């Protein structure tokens, strides 16, 4: 989907609430998505890993219906803390909008500079399931690339 299509869409179509989800993948696929939560986020949809419904984005309202919050949800299912809970097309749209608005330049508070505890830990943090899966995939690609290069030389 092009982001232009999203811009033209009324807000109510973009921001699905708890009733806006479609019973998409079915509960049988939930274990697969929970094992690799990256798979729940597609170009035009995000599957809720609690109920399996499909949305454009997981709203606070929907997460509240499961008695959870966005940060708890990300922690529980192993997403990176900064992972936007929305389909890729919508995330790109918002990122582009933020870039155009110069949002980064307006961030004045830098926690690593003002919180001694953060600096002491040297940025150390827990590695999420999502990050470990992504690192594993990168290692495998690297190994495959080296094997291919070696085979080409032989
Ligand atoms: Zn749900």
- For residue 116, tell me if it sits in a domain: no
CA 124 to ligand 1 centroid distance, Å: 31
Convert the pLDDT of each residue in 35-48 to its tens digit.
999 999 999 999 99
Distance 95 CA to ligand 1 centre (A): 25
**70 within some domain:** yes
Identify whether 122 is part of a domain. Answer: no
Asked if 87 and 13 touch (Cβ cutoff 8 Å), the reply is no
13 within domain boundaries: yes
- Provide the domain limits for residue 78: 3-105
pLDDT at residue 71 is higher than 70: yes
**How far does residue 20's CA lie from ligand 1's centre (Å)?**
11
Q: What pLDDT score was predicted for residue 120? A: 78
Report, in angstroms and rounded to the nearest whole number, the Rg of the chain calculated over CA atoms: 19
> What average pLDDT does this structure show over 15-40?
71
Q: Which residue has the higher pLDDT, 123 or 89?
A: 89
Q: Return phi, psi of residue 96, to 5°.
A: -65, -40
Query: pLDDT confidence of 119, banded at 50, 70, 90?
Result: confident
pLDDT higher than threshold 80 for residue 13 = no
Segment 101-110, tens digit of pLDDT: 888 777 777 7
Structure confidence at residue 144 (pLDDT): 95
The CA distance from 18 to 111, in Å, is 34
Number of domains in the chain: 1
CA 90 to chain CA centroid, nearest Å: 11
Domain membership flag for residue 75: yes
Q: Other C-beta atoms within 10 Å of 38: how many?
A: 16
Contact 69, 63 (CB under 8 A): yes
- The phi, psi pair for 121, rounded to 5°, reads -75, -5
């Amino acid at each position: 989907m092009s982001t232009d299509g999203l811009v033209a869409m009324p807000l109510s179509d973009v921001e699905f609430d708890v009733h806006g989800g479609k019973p998409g993948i079915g509960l049988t696929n939930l274990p697969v998505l929970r094992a690799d939560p990256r798979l729940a986020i597609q170009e035009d949809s995000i599957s809720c890993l609690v109920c399996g419904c499909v949305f454009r984005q997981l709203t606070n309202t929907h997460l509240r219906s499961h008695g959870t919050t966005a940060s708890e949800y990300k922690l529980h299912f192993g997403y990176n803390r900064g992972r936007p809970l929305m389909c890729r097309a919508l995330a790109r749209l918002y990122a582009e909008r933020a870039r155009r608005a110069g949002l980064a330049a307006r961030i004045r508070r830098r926690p690593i500079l003002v919180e001694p505890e953060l600096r002491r830990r040297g940025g150390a943090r827990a590695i999420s399931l999502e990050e470990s899966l992504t690192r594993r995939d990168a290692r495998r690609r690297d190994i495959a690339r080296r094997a291919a290069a070696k085979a080409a030389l032989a």
